Amino acid sequence: MTQPQHQKSRSSAPPLAESDAPKVQYIDIEPDQAGQRIDNFLRTALKGAPKSLIYRLLRKGEVRVNKKRIKPEYKLQGGDTVRIAPVRLPEKGEAAPVSDSLLAHLESAVVFEDDRLMVLNKPSGLAVHGGSGVSLGLIEAVRKLRPDARFLELVHRLDRDTSGCIMIAKKRSMLRILHEALRERKVTKIYQALVVGRWESRHKRIDAPLLRAEVRSGERFVKVDAEGKASVTDYKVLRRFGDLATLVEARPKTGRTHQIRVHCQFTGHSIVGDTKYTADEDNQQFRDLGFRRLMLHAAGLVVSLPQGERLEVSAPLDAVLTDLMDKL
């Protein structure tokens, strides 16, 4: 993949004629790139690098800004110089082919598009980007879908098994605007989740701090813990299915990993199909009824843009799933 135009790499030594050995990269940050977190910037600069590698490079000081160590949350400034030590990315085979059926599905899943932004209704089961054992992700498929687009970058992320609205910037200026809107909480994310059991309160706010943890097997998860980061989610009941299940709307006020899933578990009403936070017997009960996926869907987005613009988009839940719910 060609290097993004905004990067100005200057090698510390003349390139060797027939060597593919990795070299030091120096990247000068332009004013329109200011405000990006360094970890997000590196995901673009080091295409295909797994997140674990990016954070290891930062932790070991192999990425420096203006000759100084920085933390992952450091926000780049115009005029900064980023030095990236020689790094060999995992070997890649040929790019995974994108089937005509997937391209057709993604084309039909576009819920908004102009010259600055695309919003898609991402299908469940599709990772947002390749890497870490995933050969093909949404962003790689979208680049095949829009081969003439000069710039296409994810604005935010959804878990692989979560469906629904996801924003892809078509201009760097729009990416910067939307990242700022996310930081300033000017983006309202609206989710729908089918949870186990009867959710009694029609309106409920869950204010419970979340902490990332790891079990001995190495599996990572998130739990409610007083030592965690402040996390708030507002819930509203949309539809009840007797005592079996409840369809709820969730509006996260903070953006923690697995926030909605863990807050649902905390209430005693885990999300149907959640293999990490829902009891196996509950998941099996719903699998027997035809539910084969995580029942969490990013149903809508409301974004406040500069000059008073307001973008509202929604993405319908898969018709197969609505039919299954109608039969509960």
Write out the catalytic residue numbers. Answer: 159
Radius of gyration of the chain from its Cα atoms, rounded to whole angstroms = 21
Residue 302 CB partners (closer than 8 Å, separation 6+): 187, 188, 190, 310, 311, 312
Task: Let me know if 85 is exposed, middle or buried by CB neighbors in 10 A (0-12, 13-18, 19+).
Answer: middle
Sign of CA dihedral 307, 310, 296, 168: negative
Long-range contacts for 145-154 (Cβ within 8 Å, ≥24 apart)?
A: 145/98, 145/103, 145/106, 145/107, 146/118, 150/5, 151/4, 152/118, 153/44, 154/128, 154/129
Assign 168 to helix, strand or coil: strand
Determine which helix (DSSP H) or strand (DSSP E) holds 245, and give its type and residue range: strand 245-252
Sign of CA dihedral 41, 47, 51, 54: negative
Nearest to 111 by CA among 298, 326, 319: 298
Concatenated DSSP letters of 200-240: --SEEEEE--EEEEE-TTS-EEEEE-TTSB--EEEEEEEEE
Phi, psi for residue 300 in degrees, rounded to 5: -165, 165
Residue 110 CB partners (closer than 8 Å, separation 6+): 118, 119, 120, 121
